[in-house]
Copies of this chain bind each other. A is one copy, B any other.
Amino acid sequence: MKVCKFGGTSVASAQQIKKVAAILKADPSRKIVVVSAPGKRFDDDVKVTDMLIRLSQAALCNEDVEGYLSEVLDRYAQIAIGLDLGQAILDIIELDLRNRLESDKGNPGLFFDQLKASGEDNLAKLVAVYLTSIGLHAEYINPKDAGLLVTDFSQRVQALPESNNRLSALKDKATITVFPGFFGYTSKGELRTFERGGSDITGSILAAAVKAELYENFTDVDCVFVANPRIIENPEEIHKMTYREMRELSYAGFAVLHDEALMPAFKESVPVCIKNTNNPLAPGTMIVAEREHSFRPVTGISADSGFSTLFVSKYLMNREIGFGRKLLEILEDEKISFEHTPSGIDNISVILRSHQLNTEIEHRIVHRVKTELHADEVNIQSNFSMVVLVGEGMRNATGLAARATAAISRTGANIEMINQGSSEVSLVFGVLKQDETKILKELYKEFFSSVLVQ
Task: Mark A residues whose CB is within 8 Å of B.
Answer: 156, 247-248, 251, 259-260, 263, 309, 311, 315-316, 318-322, 324-325, 328-329, 332, 335-349, 351, 396, 398-399, 401-402, 405-406, 408-409, 412-423, 425-426, 428, 430
State A341–B405 Cα separation when bound (angstroms): 21
In the bound complex, do residue B340 and residue A343 qualify as a contact, i.e. CB atoms below 8 Å apart? yes
In the bound complex, do residue A420 and residue B422 qualify as a contact, i.e. CB atoms below 8 Å apart? no
In the bound complex, do residue B328 and residue A324 qualify as a contact, i.e. CB atoms below 8 Å apart? yes
- Which among B251, B260, B413, B417 is the interface contact of A398 at CB below 8 angstroms? B413
Copies in the complex: 2
Residues of the B chain whose Cβ atoms lie less than 8 Å from the Cβ of A341: 324, 341, 343
In the bound complex, do residue A335 and residue B321 qualify as a contact, i.e. CB atoms below 8 Å apart? yes
In the bound complex, do residue A337 and residue B315 qualify as a contact, i.e. CB atoms below 8 Å apart? no
- Which among B332, B349, B412, B421 is the interface contact of A342 at CB below 8 angstroms? B421
Residues of the B chain whose Cβ atoms lie less than 8 Å from the Cβ of A332: 321-322, 325
Q: Which residue of chain B has its CB nearest to the CB of A395?
A: B414
Apart from A341-B341, A349-B421, A418-B418, what 18 extra A-B contacts exist at CB < 8 Å?
A251-B345, A260-B316, A311-B422, A318-B339, A321-B332, A324-B341, A339-B343, A340-B342, A342-B420, A343-B422, A344-B423, A344-B428, A401-B401, A401-B408, A401-B418, A415-B420, A417-B421, A419-B419
In the bound complex, do residue A408 and residue B419 qualify as a contact, i.e. CB atoms below 8 Å apart? no
Known contacts A259-B316, A316-B263, A415-B401: A422-B348 contact under CB 8 Å: yes
Nearest-Cβ distance from residue A39 to partner chain B, whole angstroms: 25
Residues of the B chain whose Cβ atoms lie less than 8 Å from the Cβ of A335: 321
In the bound complex, do residue A345 and residue B409 qualify as a contact, i.e. CB atoms below 8 Å apart? no
Residues of the B chain whose Cβ atoms lie less than 8 Å from the Cβ of A426: 344-345
Q: Which residue of chain B has its CB nearest to the CB of A415?
A: B401
Most buried by B among A336, A338, A401: A401
In the bound complex, do residue A345 and residue B413 qualify as a contact, i.e. CB atoms below 8 Å apart? no
- Which among B259, B345, B425, B428 is the interface contact of A423 at CB below 8 angstroms? B345
